[in-house]
Amino acid sequence: MTFPKLDDALRLRRLQHPRRRARMVLDTDTYNEIDDQFALTYALLSPQALSVEAVYAAPFHNSRSSGPGDGMEKSYEEILRLLEFLGIAADGFAFRGSTAYIGAERQAQDNAAVRDMIEKARASAADDPLYVVAIGAITNVASALLLAPDIVEKIVIVWLGGHALNWAHSREFNLQQDVPAAQVVFDSGAPLVLMPCLGVASHLLTTAAELRAFIGGSGPLGAYLCQIFDEYRPDAFGASSVIWDIATIAWLVNPEWTPSALVHSPVLSDNITWSVDRGRHLIRAAHFVRRDPIFRDLFGKIRAFGGS
């Protein structure tokens, strides 16, 4: 597959924070854990920074699904539940995504989410790219790139996937679900803002007690987020859980909360390790997150919504 090559100056512009309200779509394996629900909520409660144009269900396979297709369908159903809490109509806004990974054959998955992503990307003005925020296996995004390579010029991908670039390996759930899809994204040359998991987003810890204290009384939405956290990570002495996915939204809301730098796009090996090639195009990679202001902003928005 041959992708358009971006001019270096354009790439550098795309890798800067937009510094204005960003048009975005969210690609999410919403039922996989409980962090996607917080990220979706955060995005939709941040209208001053983000214009969310669509939400796509991504595939996943773990103990909470019988396979990637079942994971996608459960994620789609969870998206609908959250949109109901938020009072947002799902028609023309929430879309089912891939039921299988692209796999070693790099077989693009054609579905409603992928088609909508391509349509919205192609409709973007040259100076107003579509931010494709992905917080699951990156199958839908890679499929869109394979089916429509031209959208490289119209999008900026913000992905939570893999571990820090100095980590010994990158066997992280989102990435290892569909390694060929991740390789397509890293090799495509599409502008990419990477939020690594261990070493970066892993700082985004919270506890059941903290959630109950700050959003537990914030209406049905706050109560639901506390409920799913309790079900997924029962309250125990000294226990916490990482709300990984909110790192992507936090970068768009305020880049100072997720310090980052321009680095050469890593080479992702089939063994799921990073290799360095300084002849490769640049991406932006976060190297830290400021946990407190991110949660303070998220909790404040949930409380304000619950009190409206």
Q: Please state, as a whole number, how many other Cβ atoms lie within 10 Å of the Cβ of residue 95.
A: 22
Domain count, the chain: 1
Domain span holding position 190: 8-306
- CATH number of the domain encompassing residue 157: 3.90.245.10
Q: Is residue 102 part of a domain?
A: yes
Amino acid at 76: Y
Name residues whose C-beta falls within 8 Å of residue 287's C-beta, 6 or more positions apart in sequence.
164, 199, 200, 259, 260, 261
Q: Quick check: helix, strand or coil at residue 285?
A: strand
The mean predicted confidence, pLDDT, of the chain is: 96
Name residues whose C-beta falls within 8 Å of residue 269's C-beta, 6 or more positions apart in sequence.
275
Q: Is residue 245 part of a domain?
A: yes
pLDDT at res. 128: 97
pLDDT in tens, 117-158: 999 999 999 999 999 999 999 999 999 999 999 999 999 999
Question: Could you tell me the CA-to-CA distances from 60 to 109, 192, 265 in Å, in that order?
Answer: 14, 22, 25
Structure confidence at residue 94 as a pLDDT band (50, 70, 90) = very high
Q: Is residue 162 part of a domain?
A: yes
Longest alpha-carbon distance in the chain: 53
Q: Is residue 2 part of a domain?
A: no
